[in-house]
Homo-oligomer: A and B are copies of this chain.
Amino acid sequence: MPAQSTRELIVEQADALFYESGFEATSFADIAAAVGISRGNFYHHFKTKDDILDAVIARRMERTRAMLDGWQAEGEGPRERIQSFIHMLIANRSRIMDFGCPVGTLCSELAKLDHAAQGRATEIFGLFRDWLAEQIRALGAVDQAETLALHLLAWSQGVAVMATAFKDEAFIRNEVAGIERWLASLPDLSQPK
């Protein structure tokens, strides 16, 4: 297999550090130490810190797309696919309690920094919104699809924020159960084959 390029290593480590420490609090020196290269070497791969941020956001976009495509290809129905989305809260509960949601916390930080990449970060949310809306549309709720998708997204974000604040795993499980009941209560209006 081909070895990971230095550039990919930088983006990978920066991604993790931006998530765990925040964009502003992560320095070039931190990333260099994580990758194991010298600080000066950075400039050859990325001109500015904002360039790294752009690459990190692009990476997250790609990986999010791949994840959503994966769920799409598993062959089950829209209800099961939405379940995959909800289950992220359980699967990633430990890191969520430590660092929150990677997307939500990045968007919030960039908003405060009034950063130019804010819109690009929000596009990751856009991927989830559109994918969820597609699943809900497949359930037959065509006109409400986007509204319900945003609602589900907001709910999961709220769970992430509160889980980070209170470090309460039982709360996460409680809310996930609530989301699942909500999902089950959505009527399937789609035409049977």
Residues of A at the B interface (CB closer than 8 Å) are 20-22, 24-25, 98-100, 104-105, 107-109, 111-113, 121-122, 125, 147, 150-151, 153-159, 161-162, 164-166, 171, 174-175, 178
* Chain A, interface SS category: helix
A105–B121 alpha-carbon span in the complex (Å): 16
A98–B21 alpha-carbon span in the complex (Å): 22
CB of A4, distance to nearest CB on chain B (Å):
26
Q: Determine which of B21, B99, B100, B165 lies in contact with A122 in the assembled complex, contact meaning CB atoms within 8 Å.
A: B165
Q: Which residues of B contact A153 (CB under 8 A)?
A: 158, 162
B24 touches A104 (CB 8 A): no
A131–B151 alpha-carbon span in the complex (Å): 25
CB of A91, distance to nearest CB on chain B (Å):
19
Q: Which residues of B contact A108 (CB under 8 A)?
A: 100, 104-105, 108, 161, 164-165
CB of A125, distance to nearest CB on chain B (Å):
5
B161 touches A157 (CB 8 A): yes
A111–B154 alpha-carbon span in the complex (Å): 20
A162 touches B150 (CB 8 A): yes
